[in-house]
């Protein structure tokens, strides 16, 4: 990257962080807990529930690694000011009309470059009471399972009102393994993605129940194993 361009980007990142500290923090009183470190020598994905435009802004504020990049709609990059700030944070433009496979390949190329990519499996903002109605996108999660890419769960309690104190709970980096090493079909991948989302909500004591969730939980526990990444592998 051009050094002058990166200098401007660094200034914009500083301005954005200052605005968050001056405007958003006093208004909402957000709180972050958990592990705010990522894998030391490899890329990973951060998976979170998504309810507000403020989710990626505050996640980036609390998780301060310059390696963290969020996926954003490609059309946002065409808006002059917003697009420039997105580029300053090295956000990844993604065409929403692209197939899941193409989108996954774009994200994986960034992970191979050592970046930590923030994604929302729900694909878009959802209302809290409707969260369990949305089938999360399973393809990128399954790529992570197959390739043993580290994953960090981020659970958000979206209490975005005056002094609401929204919570951001960052999990420890883990790897997913399939117990019997047999490939999962599309239906099984969807079941795993559903259970991962349920676990994300459960960590901040938010409901995420739907028809068949107990069956999915059983399937997940039988087929999927999570392996913690040791401290020496983390920053």
Using CA atoms, how far apart are residues 213 and 199, in angstroms rounded to an integer? Answer: 11
The CA distances from residue 211 to 133, 194, 215, in Å, are 10, 11, 9
pLDDT at position 101, please? 65
Q: For residue 232, name the pLDDT band (cuts at 50, 70, 90).
A: very low
- Find the mean pLDDT for residues 133-144: 90
* Position with higher pLDDT, 2 vs 42: 42
Using CA atoms, how far apart are residues 111 and 14, in angstroms rounded to an integer? Answer: 24
Residue 92 has pLDDT above 60, yes or no: yes
Residue 71 has pLDDT above 90, yes or no: no
User: What are the residue boundaries of the structural domains of the chain, listed by start?
Assistant: 29-71+97-233
Q: For residue 75, name the pLDDT band (cuts at 50, 70, 90).
A: confident
Name the residue with tokens 């599309």. 186
For the segment 112-136, what is each residue's pLDDT rounded down to a tens digit? Answer: 889 999 999 998 899 999 999 989 9
Residue 159 has pLDDT above 70, yes or no: yes
Residue 97 has pLDDT above 80, yes or no: no
Name the residue with tokens 């929302």. 120
Six-digit token pair at 54?
């403020």
pTM of the model: 0.89
Across 30-34, 74-78, 180-184, which has the greatest mean pLDDT?
Answer: 30-34
Contact 138, 189 (CB under 8 A): yes
For the segment 177-203, what is each residue's pLDDT rounded down to a tens digit? Answer: 998 878 999 999 999 999 999 999 999
Q: For residue 72, name the pLDDT band (cuts at 50, 70, 90).
A: confident
Six-digit token pair at 139?
């393809």
């Amino acid at each position: 990257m051009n050094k002058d361009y990166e200098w401007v980007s660094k200034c914009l990142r500083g301005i954005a962080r200052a605005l968050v500290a001056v405007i958003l923090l006093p208004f909402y009183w957000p709180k972050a807990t958990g592990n705010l470190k990522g894998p030391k020598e490899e890329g990973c994905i951060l998976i979170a529930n998504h309810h507000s435009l403020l989710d990626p802004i505050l996640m980036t504020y609390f998780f301060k690694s310059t390696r963290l990049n969020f996926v954003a709609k490609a059309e946002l990059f065409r808006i002059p000011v917003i697009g420039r700030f997105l580029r300053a944070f090295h956000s990844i433009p993604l065409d929403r009309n692209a197939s899941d496979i193409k989108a996954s390949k774009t994200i994986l190329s960034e992970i191979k470059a050592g970046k930590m990519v923030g994604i929302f499996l729900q694909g878009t903002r959802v209302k809290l009471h409707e969260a369990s109605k949305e089938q999360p996108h399973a393809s990128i999660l399954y790529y992570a399972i197959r390739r043993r890419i580290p994953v960090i769960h981020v659970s958000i309690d979206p209490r975005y009102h005056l002094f609401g104190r929204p919570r951001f709970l960052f999990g420890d980096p883990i790897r997913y393994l399939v117990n019997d090493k047999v490939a999962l079909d599309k239906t099984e991948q969807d079941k795993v993605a559903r259970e991962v989302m349920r676990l994300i909500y459960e960590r901040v004591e938010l409901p995420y129940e739907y028809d068949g969730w107990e069956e999915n939980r059983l399937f997940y526990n039988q087929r999927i194993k999570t392996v913690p990444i040791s401290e020496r592998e983390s920053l």
